[in-house]
Amino acid sequence: MASCYRCGKPITGLELRQRRQVYTGESFWVLRARRKQSSHRTHYGMRIVCAQCANRLDWGRGVYRSRAMRVRWFLGMIGLLLFFIAGLLLVFRLLGR
């Protein structure tokens, strides 16, 4: 049975296995010979991830830069703001100010 590389959740046969390029580690070395040399490398590799982690990775890579997704995100933020303001008004009304 496969498991997600990022979160470790077991992936059953019913769930779609998705492969994404994920961070696998880094290496760093310093050589002090005649002059100081150093190297820092970040390593990535193709790994199997669950659907939730695949969505998070896609979002971080800017896959959702389409106009429809930006409008959806904006409307979601407006909804959260209105919900927050309604909560503040309710608190002020309950406190009697």
Count other Cβ atoms within 10 Å, centred on residue 62.
7
Name the pTM for this structure.
0.52
Cβ contact 5:22 at 8 Å = yes
Count other Cβ atoms within 10 Å, centred on residue 16.
9
Q: Which residue stretches of 1-97 are H helix?
A: 51-60, 67-95
pLDDT at 62: 65
Locus of tokens 């703001």? 81
Q: What is the pLDDT of residues 3-54, one digit of tens each?
A: 888 888 888 876 777 888 888 899 988 888 778 888 889 999 998 888 888 8
What is the mean predicted confidence (pLDDT) over 60-78? 78
